[in-house]
Chains A and B, each alone.
Chain A
Amino acid sequence: MKKYIYLIVLIISSFSPFAQTRVSGVIKTSNGKTIPGVNITLVNTYDGASTDTAGRFAFTTAETGTHMLHYVTIGFKPDSIAIILDGKPLNLSLIIKEAVSELNAVTITAGTIETGDAKKGAVLSSIDIATTAGAVADIVAALQTLPGTSQAFSENGLFVRGGSAAETRTYFDGMLVKSPFSSQLPDISSRSRFSPFLFKGTTFSSGGYSAQYGQALSSALLLETKDLAEKTSTEFSVLTVGFGAAHTERFENSSLTVGGVYYNLSPSYSVFKQNINWDKAPIEKTGNIQYKWKPTKSSMLKVFSQYSNNDVSLFADNPDSAGFIHVIDHNKNNYTNLTYQDYLNADWRIQAGASYSNTHESGRLDSNNFRKNDHLLQGRFTLTRYLGQRSLLRAGAEAYQNGALEGWNDQSRSFNDNLQAAFTEGEIFLSDNIVMRLGGRAEHSSYLGDWNLAPRTSLAVKTGTHSQVSMAYGIFYQNPDDTYLLQSHQLGYEKATHYLLNYQYLTSGLTFRVEAFYKQYADLTKYDYDGFPKTYAVNNYSNLFNGGDGYAKGIDVFWRDKQSIPGGDYYISYSYLDTKRDFRNYPIQATPPFAAKHTLNVVYKQYIPAIKSELSTAYAFSSGRTYYNPNNPDFLSDKTKAYNNLSMNLSYLTRLFKQFAVVYVSVNNIPGFNNVYGYNYPSNGSIREPIYPAAKRNYLFGLLVTIGDNTFNH
């Protein structure tokens, strides 16, 4: 019995505060800096302390035996050591290592500019995109203020580093968008179909992008839609060009938004002088539905469906007859996208998606009827395996069913292509300061009857707390434009090879990036055609083949300062581009009209509390572009004068009927620069007709009201 009592006493004593051990010490970084506020914990007990301003700590504990002492604080790596508690005071000298935070972590930045609200390294937030002066809430127009892009003058699209508009592809939650713009009209570009308010983030890649994205020679524009709407609310907008409404209903784990816009530009065009001879100014009707469902914390289902209908009619210059061509154009587009993602556990993530789109464009050129239809059905599946804290392996597969039809009066031609793709890549952190991405993509197109295999790699190395150098190399393939595939079954993939070198300095207030690039083109589509083809018409080409080539090289610079001006924020982007290419019906390698040698953008935003307004100003400069002059034996050697534009937006925040409201005024080309986009010649070259912007100066007034949400939302 006595034996037991001793044992019991012994057991109890181990829980009682008889044997106290004093643990003290100091915590420093490896270069001797003391750190205050470090939390020191004896694991599985409450015992511990915080370091004082001299990095010292002390506590006593009743525990005995071997224990782990854990120490952690923000900005440093959690660490622990084993200590033996036996009543003798312990004096420790501990080293704590700096942790890698999101902002100072090494990331692959070559070719990539992220925008969005969640990422700290983001260059522009979604509100920046919506309020960039002169962009009138058009994503693509706002992106034209970023380095690497050229001003799109009269052609639809985003022109990146000497690439044509077709070389930039848009991805909506990872799914390829077949026709992100409405119809191309004669010498007039149209807006992109998607509202910037749909998206929480945009990644704009001007080269060297991941193997996840295929079918893009020059650039990938990745749009990521918002998650669940926070609240039930209703919004109305009234603009000089039309009106819109949207209602959002928030449920427990899901939200549903139904909205639509009606734009009719004729009232505005009748007041503000137009350079275009409109018969019926553009009318746009768009309706969309968004459904977001978050069944569990880690998963998300997103459904988006949009229908848009555009009608326009105008008289376009016809230099050949010294008269006009009457152009009537109807464009109907359906776009539906469904994506789902889930983290199976901490290590595995799945993403799946399906999308379908079709476009029916029809109209008349004088007495001739034309049709242009296209469709794309896509399925996609991606599996990601996370390795350790930051590294990952990713693999996925895609299938596309893609086709188009072109009709001219009674005749028509069409093609259908089934394209399968598989990709895999790894993002591996070789150390805290070095990350490497290595991957590849394989595609097979039934219509081209061929395979391609595209290796992609990037490497980023940290050079300081806020700076890093990164580089990228990759091969990119794209099917020739629908227009060419419709006319030839003999074509193969077009190819580009990218080399990028990038330096970035990033703090929360300042961003500086400079990037040098070299891009080599091969197998671009060539054909025979008299004159300089216009992209809006239905043209017949002959002898199509993959004989073209070219190059683009240059330097892009970006500087953004959010900290020096209270309430203000500005950025400057500059691009130098040297490019020549032999494609289409070019007789030699020449600089295409869509490439400018120098492009400069300065964007400045200032919130002025006194008038409760945000003022946004944007200046754009673009050096002269080449244009086709049939009288000049040197092909594309004439240049327009430089382009200048100064735009302003004023957003006045107020309340109307007790609801949050924004009054919006936007003016573009305030000084009235006489810009010329290029010249049209008749085939005999006798006279030239300048191509002017659709209007010398544009004005837009608007009012946005949000009901049911008393706070700033849009």
Chain B
Amino acid sequence: MKTLKLCIVLLIITFSVKAQNSDKYTAAMQKGMALIDSASTSEQFAAVANFFERIAASETKQWLPQYYAGFCNLHAAILGKQDSDTKDALYDKAMSYAEKADALKPANSEVLVLEGYITFMKMSVFSQQRAMTMIPKANALLEKALAIDPENPRAYLVKGQNTFYTPEAFGGGKAKAKDILTTAADKYKNQKASGFEPAWGARRCQALLQQCN
């Protein structure tokens, strides 16, 4: 009898510890998502990036903390006024997290979109030297993302955004971007993301569409 009681107690403890751990993960991710929603400056994104990096360091089997660590570092660089070398290092850091997410969740459309986004931004740091090799690379990643999930609105958004910021002479321009962004806006209407899966970009898409007119 005693032994049975002990077993039950031990079982409960084990479960509670486990439940506590997964609750802890859920709670932390919820907090992180809220932090992303409220972040608007480079410093804020850097702080959220740090937050996700801490989760990512312990949760080595979860791809989402890695993904958001990459996403936030990317935005810390995009919104910041750092010198080119620091920006470049931030993009490299963002990419290293995206690659970790890719290793945990291979052939995932969202991760490929993030990689395409980072590649394009890294190109922009030294565009004269990098445009020739890195624009095709960014495009290839986005095409791959679209091939895996043709309904992914972020794939169209980033593609449209890259087109928006590429000079017309180099195959970009507002007119071309508008078509892609319109498709993105349509896809956003039907997007279904569960849990903490990426769902960002609808507002950005509208803002860019307005600039296209």
What residues of chain A have their CB less than 8 Å away from a CB belonging to chain B?
Answer: 1, 4, 8, 11-12, 15, 36-37, 39, 41, 43-50, 53, 70, 74-75, 101, 103, 117, 120, 122, 125-128, 200, 230-231, 250, 508-509, 562, 569, 607, 609, 612, 653-655, 660, 709-714
Contact = CB atoms under 8 A, between A and B. Distances in A.
B132 A46 contact: no
A712 B131 contact: yes
Interface of B: 2, 5-6, 9, 13, 16-17, 20, 24, 28, 43, 46-47, 49-51, 53-55, 57-58, 83-86, 88-90, 93, 126, 128-133, 135-137, 139-140, 143, 166-172
A712 B89 contact: no
Interface SS of chain A: loop
Nearest to B69: A39
Given A75-B86, A231-B139, A712 B171 contact: yes
Given A120-B85, A125-B129, 6 more contacts: A11-B13, A48-B50, A53-B43, A74-B89, A74-B93, A231-B136
Given A4-B9, A15-B20, A711 B139 contact: yes
B89 A230 contact: no
A41 B13 CA distance: 27
A117 B131 CA distance: 10
Nearest to B130: A117
A75 B135 CA distance: 27
Contact of B50 (A39, A47, A53): A39
Nearest to A37: B46
A120 B17 CA distance: 49
Contacts, number: 116
A230 B139 contact: yes
Contacts of B137: 230
Contacts of A75: 86, 89
Contact of A712 (B24, B51, B58, B170): B170
A653 B43 contact: no
A655 B170 CA distance: 9
B2 A1 contact: yes
21 contacts: A1-B2, A8-B13, A12-B16, A45-B54, A53-B43, A70-B57, A74-B89, A75-B89, A120-B88, A125-B129, A230-B139, A230-B140, A612-B167, A653-B170, A655-B171, A660-B170, A660-B171, A711-B170, A711-B172, A712-B135, A713-B136
A4 B8 CA distance: 13
A4 B10 CA distance: 10
A508 B53 CA distance: 28
A562 B143 CA distance: 33
A74 B13 CA distance: 41
B101 to A, nearest CB: 15
A76 to B, nearest CB: 11
Nearest to B84: A508
A612 B168 contact: yes
Given A1-B2, A117-B129, A36 B55 contact: no
Given A127-B132, A231-B139, A711-B166, A46 B171 contact: no
A117 B126 CA distance: 10
A369 B133 CA distance: 47
Contacts of A15: 16-17, 20
A231 B140 contact: yes
A230 B116 CA distance: 12
The 6 A-B pairs with the shortest beta carbon distances in the complex, nearest first, are A653-B169, A39-B50, A612-B169, A712-B170, A230-B136, A230-B140
A50 B50 contact: yes
B147 to A, nearest CB: 11
Contacts of A612: 167-169
Nearest to B93: A74
Contacts of B46: 37, 50
B50 A44 contact: no
Contact of B54 (A46, A74, A125): A46
A36 B136 contact: no
Nearest to A1: B2
A714 B17 contact: no
Contact of B53 (A41, A562, A660): A41
Contacts of A609: 167
Contacts of A230: 136-137, 139-140
A2 B168 CA distance: 79
A53 B126 CA distance: 28
A508 B58 contact: no
A4 B6 contact: yes
Contact of A711 (B20, B50, B135): B135
A103 B17 CA distance: 47
A231 B51 CA distance: 37
A298 to B, nearest CB: 13
A695 B6 CA distance: 99
Nearest to B20: A15
B136 A37 contact: no
Contacts of A509: 84
Contact of A654 (B47, B93, B132, B169): B169
A75 B87 CA distance: 11
